[in-house]
Each structure stands twice: as structure tokens, then as C-alpha cells.
Structure 1
Amino acid sequence: MKLISFVKSVYEASGSGNTPFILEAFDQNIEWHEAENSPYDIGTIFVGAQSIIEGVFGKIAEDFEEFEVKNEQFIESGNVVIMLGRYVGKTKSGKGLNAQAAHVWTIENGKITKFVGYTDTDQWRRVIGTGDVNVDGASLAKKQLKS
């Protein structure tokens, strides 16, 4: 339960815009795996906080007028916490998002070292309007993008 509290505090910080707290929670070499074929999956593993802020958080802020991760359930096993919930938001073009989400967080030595996200990528692409999915296998053979 201790790790669940830690991950919940990261979600709370994200919701309130407390970026310094989030950066402190991340290991300097955190690996961030976006859901394959989501609009923000560019065929890379984001490594380091700066690449995550620019490649994920910044892109969401560009696309959405309102955005929230609604946490519904947490599961802890060893050094892993899983969050089951929903992405809810409204794009700047007025389209609504209400997609299932699962996040797998790995914590080592009090820091988040890895994030893997799963979601309804078809819904994301329809809402964002990004078209075709990445079917050439680039998502499976990811190159690391370092900050």
C-alpha cells in the first residue's frame, strides 16, 4: 500500500500542475512507454523527464482544453503499481474523450523508473484526428529517445 500512496501522489501532483513534485518522483533515466499506436507513440521509448514533458505532456496540453486521468483502482505487487481508470477530456476542437486506461508503474529506490500505458488508441486517434495507426512494427522495435 505504501507504493500505491506514492503513485497516487504523482497523479494528484499532475492534476494540480505540480511539475516539480513529478520531476522529483521520476528517476533521472525513467523509461516512458506510450500505448502502442496512440497519437503520442512515435516509435520511441521516452527516456528522462525532459523527453516525457516535451513528447507526451506537452503534446497533450497542445491538443486538449480539458484533460484528466480518473483513477478507479490501484493494484500493488512487489515494486509495481497498476492503475486502472479512464482518460477524460475535451480537445481544443471540442471533441470528447472518455477512454479506458491502464498504467503500469515500476518503482525502485523511491523513484519511478518505468511507466507503461495502455488505452483505447482507436478512440484517441478518432478524437485527436491523427488517422492511420503505425503498422510497420516500429512500435515493437522502439529506439530510445533520450532527453
Structure 2
Amino acid sequence: MSPVDVIRAHYDASDRGDLPGMLAPLGPATTWTEAAGFPYAGTYTGPDEVQRHVFEAIGRDWDGYRFTLADLLDAGDTVVGVGTYTGTHRGTGKSFTARVAHVWRFAAGAVASFEQIVDSAPVVAATREHS
């Protein structure tokens, strides 16, 4: 599969709620960076860390958390997914919508890195009782 096909399969798995399918393209050395200012900010390595620090945390903290893909841009060994996050925070009951871009980089035919670029302000505001 081409890089864009690999990432399309990741997003298709996300739409199905298929976590193993979402993690499938990540290897043990793949780095996954959540943006500074985002509730799960940091860089995690490999599918186990990504599952624990990102997807399990999102599942714990949010209802209906979703990424809706608007554009998938094929630049060869770099693939960019552009879309929107939505969700409702379990602790506050507040919902949000935030624009986001995901930058996927491939090396030797495998996912080398993922970087999230996001408008974190609406996400953080939804986590606060008083904003």
C-alpha cells in the first residue's frame, strides 16, 4: 500500500471505532506527537504508548470524541489529514469543535512519525468548569 492508502486505512478504522486498526500502521519506533497546549501533549513512541497516553485518555475523558476528515493530502512520503475534532468532556459536559491537521511522515515504507497541529483553545476550554 502507498503511504496515502495506509493513512486512509487508519482514518477508516477511526470511523469504525477500531483501535487495533488505527494502531496497525505504527511500528515500535514510530513517534506520535500531540501538540503543545493540547490536553495530551507530548511525544510517545510505538503503538503501546500511543494507545495508553492518547487513545485511552481520550476514551476516559470524552464522550463522542471524533475526528472528521475533510482532506487527505498526498505528498509522497508525507501525508496530511485535515479535519475537525469534536467531543463532549465527561467532567464538565462542555462540547467543542476544533480544526486540526495531522502530518504523517514515512521512511522506508513505514510510518516514521505523526504530528498533530491543532487549535487547542476550544479543547482546553471544554475541560474547564469556568471559562
What residue in structure 2 maps to residue 97 of structure 1? 96
Partner of 1:79: 77
Three-state SS of the structure 1 residue aligned to 2:37 is coil
- Contact 1:39–1:130, Cα closer than 8 Å, also in 2: no
> Aligned ranges for residues 1-147 of structure 1 at < 5 Å?
2-41=2-41, 44-92=42-90, 93-129=92-128
- Superposed CA deviations along residues 19-53 of structure 1, whole A, max 9, x for unmatched, are 33233311111101111111111xx4211111111
C-alpha contact (below 8 Å) 1:27/1:112 kept by paired residues: yes
User: In the comparison of the two structures, how many residue pairs are matched?
Assistant: 129
Greater length-normalized contact order (CA 8 Å, ≥ 6 residues apart): 1
Unaligned runs of 5+ in 2: none
For structure 1, the 5+ residue unaligned runs are 132-147
TM-score (structure 1 length as normaliser): 0.79
Which residue identity lines up with residue 50 of structure 2 in the other structure? I
Q: Summarize deviations over 1:50-69 as a string: whole Å, max 9, x none.
A: 11111111111111111110
Identity of aligned residues (%): 25
User: Scaled by the length of structure 2, what TM-score is found?
Assistant: 0.87
**Residues 86 and 99 of structure 1 are in contact (CA less than 8 Å); yes or no, is this contact kept in structure 2?**
yes
Q: Could you tell me which residue of structure 2 aligns to residue 140 of structure 1?
A: none
